Amino acid sequence: MLVLGIESSCDETAAAVVSDGRRILSNVVASQVDLHALYGGVVPEIASRKHMEAILPVIDRSLEEAGVSLDDIEGVAATRGPGLIGSVLVGLSAAKAIAFAREIPFVGVNHIAGHIAAIFLEEKVPPFPFTALVVSGGHTNIYTVEDFDRMRLLGQTRDDAAGEAFDKAAKMLGLGYPGGVIIDRLAEQGDAERIRFPRPMKNSPDFSFSGLKTALLSYLKQCGEPPTQDDIPHVVASFQQAIIDVLVEKTIRAAGDCPGGAVVVAGGVAANRRLRQCFREACEADGLDLYIPSPALCTDNAAMIAAYGTRLLEKGIVHSFDLNALSRWPVGMD
């Protein structure tokens, strides 16, 4: 089955053509990072307007790179949510229009489930069931995944997502946007043991990162003056390690209770190099098989939406054209 995937949940306009849910023929992403960097974060109204400008050229380019036309497409999958509602509506509307005009099936996809499905675009795929951590700018959730349409939530953030904590920490330190990418780079030059930030909610399956941001703010106030260029790598490395330790510990603990022995880590923060290293070490120590998509498939993209959408279409799940976008949509909820 040849499926066109469309993703527009935040500030990336993306389209992809995927064959049989496994082989990527094209995966085009138009980023708005430079635009939103002027404001230190994503401005929803600006994001939705830029999606409207980019959506058709991005779809055209994805078809061109795949070497196919709309006549060849057998199904359309688009992010239905969760995400910025104005942004989601752009991609969802485009997908409905194409499916209606071509008389082909359409399905709305959960963005979080799409992140998990990204691993099935890699050569090495996990067996069901497995434990999945989805960690990004908007989500920090752990699931037991029994099948593509059977995912059970084990833990989630009670406030900020891990990626949001990175962005806000970078803003406190005047490092710019997107904070996660900047911190990932600077932390390689720092000592992660220099400052002992708290590891919140150690005994809970849920996450909380707001207190960690407060701890960083308190540290900066205690210093009395902004950290020097020499000190910043140590600060961000220590802050980053506190987040990573919590993510790794809770995921490994959850995996110990899962019948399967595999761990999947997905979402934009899964592209972080230190996080990938720490998960490799922890899974090796506990005898668990680790699966992390390549960095390009960790960040928001449409190939993952097409991959998950293909699985739904193959199960006979087709949505009507009155399907609405959702700003909040827990995995497993219709």
Q: Are residues 131 and 109 in the same domain?
A: no
Q: Is the residue at 24 inside a domain?
A: yes
For the segment 238-264, the average pLDDT, to the nearest whole number, is 94
Question: To the nearest whole number, what is the mean pLDDT of the chain?
Answer: 95
pLDDT tens digits, one per residue of 8-17 = 999 999 999 9
Give the integer Cα–Cα distance in Å for 218 and 188. 24
Confidence at residue 34, expressed as pLDDT on a 0 to 100 scale = 85
Evaluate if residue 210 carries a pLDDT over 70: yes
Give the integer Cα–Cα distance in Å for 266 and 103. 33
pLDDT tens digits, one per residue of 267-310 = 999 999 999 999 999 999 999 999 999 999 999 999 999 999 99
Q: Are residues 136 and 170 in the same domain?
A: yes
Confidence at residue 75, expressed as pLDDT on a 0 to 100 scale = 98
Confidence at residue 202, expressed as pLDDT on a 0 to 100 scale = 83
- Compute how many other C-beta atoms are within 10 angstroms of the C-beta atom of residue 191: 13
Q: Are residues 144 and 279 in the same domain?
A: yes
Q: Is the residue at 334 inside a domain?
A: no
Evaluate if residue 332 carries a pLDDT over 70: no
Q: Are residues 221 and 102 in the same domain?
A: no
pLDDT tens digits, one per residue of 82-114 = 999 999 999 999 999 999 999 999 999 999 999
Evaluate if residue 225 carries a pLDDT over 90: no
Q: Is the residue at 328 inside a domain?
A: no
- Tally of residues, the chain: 334
Total domains in the fold of the chain: 2
Domain span at residue 219 reads 127-292
Evaluate if residue 333 carries a pLDDT over 80: no
Give the integer Cα–Cα distance in Å for 116 and 331. 11
Termini Cα distance of the chain: 24
Evaluate if residue 334 carries a pLDDT over 70: no
Q: Are residues 86 and 144 in the same domain?
A: no
Confidence at residue 321, expressed as pLDDT on a 0 to 100 scale = 97
Q: Is the residue at 32 inside a domain?
A: yes
Confidence at residue 177, expressed as pLDDT on a 0 to 100 scale = 87
Q: Are residues 112 and 155 in the same domain?
A: no
Q: Is the residue at 141 inside a domain?
A: yes
Q: Are residues 176 and 272 in the same domain?
A: yes
- Give CA separation, 88 vs 48, 209, 224, in Å: 8, 26, 43
pLDDT tens digits, one per residue of 171-193 = 999 999 889 999 999 999 999 99
Q: Are residues 269 and 148 in the same domain?
A: yes
Q: Is the residue at 280 inside a domain?
A: yes
- Residue 160 sits in a domain whose CATH number is 3.30.420.40
Give the rounded percent of residues in the chain with a pLDDT score beyond 90: 87
- Give CA separation, 247 vs 162, 169, 271, in Å: 9, 17, 14
Q: Are residues 131 and 260 in the same domain?
A: yes
Q: Are residues 101 and 178 in the same domain?
A: no
Confidence at residue 149, expressed as pLDDT on a 0 to 100 scale = 86
Give the integer Cα–Cα distance in Å for 157 and 282. 22
pLDDT tens digits, one per residue of 19-51 = 999 999 999 999 998 888 888 889 999 999 999
- Compute how many other C-beta atoms are within 10 angstroms of the C-beta atom of residue 23: 12
Q: Is the residue at 46 inside a domain?
A: yes
